[in-house]
Amino acid sequence: MTRTTGLPDPGRPDGRPARGRRLPRIHRAWWVAAVAFVALVGAAGFRATPSVFIDPLHEEFGWSHSTISSAVSVNVLLYGLTSPFSAALMERYGIRRIVSGALLLIAAGSGLTVFMDATWQLLLCWGFLVGLGTGSMALAFAATVSGSWFVERRGLVSGILTAGSAAGQLVFLPLVALLVEGPGWRAASLTVAFAALAVVPLVLWVLRDRPEDCGLRPYGAGPGYVSPPPAPPGAARRTLRALRDAARTRVFWLLAGTFAVCGASTNGLVGVHFVPAAHDHGMPVPAAATLLAVIGVFDLVGTVASGWFTDRFDPRRLLAVYYALRGISLLFLPMLFAQSVQPSMLFFIIFYGLDWVATVPPTIALCRAHFGGNGAIVFGWVLASHQIGASVVAFLAGLVRDTFGSYDVAWIGSGALCATAALMALVIRKDGPGGAAGPGAGAAAGAAGGAGKKPAPDVR
């Protein structure tokens, strides 16, 4: 048998195994991606719980839906605003340090929640600590890992890592709902805290910041690949400079606008308010939470497939299709709620689940194509708009519920926003500074950045 080492295979310049070996060696990039996926699952655990905590907190403390939703709003807002800075910090100080610290913040925020008895404590634990922790390893983390460790299959890897958040829903949400119904919401909070802590040793053991740290090239890198230089000091300045340059372009505002609608229609509305809305119609909380978790199951399929499509089709048109279909489904949702799960609701869950965050891989590809070496940081700012949209709607939907006694206005308004986002996606210019932002755009732009070339932002 052939002994494997951490060094590149001499038979292949890109570090992949040579043909004919009886025990082909898996490139370390795939192990890094696997651990990053698990870390994203751990971070997603607490972000999946707000929807099943709203009613228990309302019953125990008498806090209104809008008050509890304001804590969720702070959470998702910080999740978005922290993301672009975390992308720069990961490049400067390393993925392992930032991700480990983020998981510890999530565990602290979730664990301390059990001692709260005032709304400011809810804002501190649920809003600030967990918001900062999840934001520090948000989807910009997926963009950083796929950009640093992969030249080929970047779209696919972005889709797989994005699906980590959906997997967090799948793993935690039914369990959290059962714990809330049984031992109570405090037991659920502690479960999420321990789950986040359990991921930290795995991150420290397997994750490495760059392939060069292991004597490797990124997966799929050819013999002409040149390692990018280490990120210079001043991560905050670089992050703000990337925003300044990107904000001068129309492409950035179109991507930010569409992604704000994405956040509003997923994390802010369905992710937070689907369970209480179903409960308003007589559906038991565990059943509603299970439906939300099933969205996570099909999101795994939809997001991975979207990554595969992004490597082959025009990402602008993919975005337009995704937003249009999402908007149509939300317009029908108010008519589907019932005391029990009906076939029509199951169809919505499957359909909506396939589209949940399928928008992420094509959005990452467009950021790479138009903003080159700053693509991951710019995507962090685009993600910030995603969370701003989610934050605003998380609060407004709770206010709608308190004002009208139902969520119908929120569902219909979100559907109209999705139709607008579909039109905005088609307006984005196809050609970026590195070439067409069509099939393979993410890999092409990443190859240019990996060779040490930093294309200028697209100002058209």
pLDDT digits (tens, 9 = 90+) for 135-181: 787 666 777 788 778 878 877 887 788 777 666 766 677 778 788 87
Q: How far apart are CA 193 and CA 43, in angstroms?
A: 10
| 219 three-class SS | strand
Is 349 a member of any domain? yes
pLDDT for 192 equals 81
pLDDT for 347 equals 92
Task: Identify the band that residue 432 occupies on the pLDDT scale cut at 50, 70 and 90.
Answer: low
User: How many other C-beta atoms are found inside a 10 Å radius of the C-beta of residue 324?
Assistant: 17
Q: How far apart are CA 440 and CA 452, in angstroms?
A: 19
Q: How far apart are CA 31 and CA 355, in angstroms?
A: 27
Which of 38-42, 310-314, 398-402 shows the lowest per-residue confidence on average (mean pLDDT)?
Answer: 38-42
Is 390 a member of any domain? yes
Higher pLDDT, residue 264 or 176? 264
Q: Is the pLDDT of residue 452 over 70?
A: no
Task: Identify the band that residue 448 occupies on the pLDDT scale cut at 50, 70 and 90.
Answer: very low
Q: What does the block give as tokens for 327?
A: 């908007």
The percentage of the chain sitting over the pLDDT mark of 90, rounded to a whole number, equals 15
Cα 21 off chain centre by = 37
CA distances from 236 to 24, 89, 91, 92 (A): 42, 8, 12, 10
433: domain CATH number? 1.20.1250.20
- With the CA atoms of 301, 307, 313 and 316 taken in that order, what torsion angle do they form, in degrees rounded to the nearest 10? 100
Q: Do residues 151 and 443 make contact, with C-beta atoms less than 8 angstroms apart?
A: yes
If you count them, how many residues does the chain have? 460
- With the CA atoms of 328, 271, 275 and 132 taken in that order, what torsion angle do they form, in degrees rounded to the nearest 10? -160
Q: Please, what is the average pLDDT of the chain?
A: 79
Higher pLDDT, residue 260 or 235? 260
> Could you report the per-residue pLDDT of 244-262, keeping only the tens digit for each?
999 999 999 999 999 999 9
> What is the number of domains present in the chain?
1
Is 1 a member of any domain? no
Amino acid letter, 108? A
For residue 142, the number of C-alpha atoms closer than 13 Å in the C-beta half-sphere is 31
pLDDT for 323 equals 95
Q: Is the pLDDT of residue 264 over 80?
A: yes
Is 6 a member of any domain? no
Is 415 a member of any domain? yes
pLDDT for 247 equals 92
Q: Do residues 356 and 312 make contact, with C-beta atoms less than 8 angstroms apart?
A: no
Task: Identify the band that residue 419 occupies on the pLDDT scale cut at 50, 70 and 90.
Answer: very high
Task: Identify the band that residue 345 occupies on the pLDDT scale cut at 50, 70 and 90.
Answer: very high
Residue among 391, 363, 393 nearest 378 (CA): 363
Residue with tokens 């579909």: 422
Q: How far apart are CA 306 and CA 354, in angstroms?
A: 9
Is 228 a member of any domain? no
Q: How far apart are CA 133 and CA 103, in angstroms?
A: 6
User: How many other C-beta atoms are found inside a 10 Å radius of the C-beta of residue 122?
Assistant: 22
Range of the domain at 383: 28-210+234-450
Backbone angles phi, psi at 268, to 5 degrees: -75, -35
Mean pLDDT of 88-108: 83
Q: Is the pLDDT of residue 408 over 80?
A: yes
| Maximum average pLDDT range among 19-28, 240-249, 320-329, 361-370 | 320-329
Is 177 a member of any domain? yes
> Could you report the per-residue pLDDT of 283-321, keeping only the tens digit for each?
888 888 888 878 877 888 888 888 889 888 899 999 999
Q: Do residues 123 and 69 make contact, with C-beta atoms less than 8 angstroms apart?
A: no
Is 416 a member of any domain? yes
pLDDT for 460 equals 41
Q: Is the pLDDT of residue 387 over 50?
A: yes
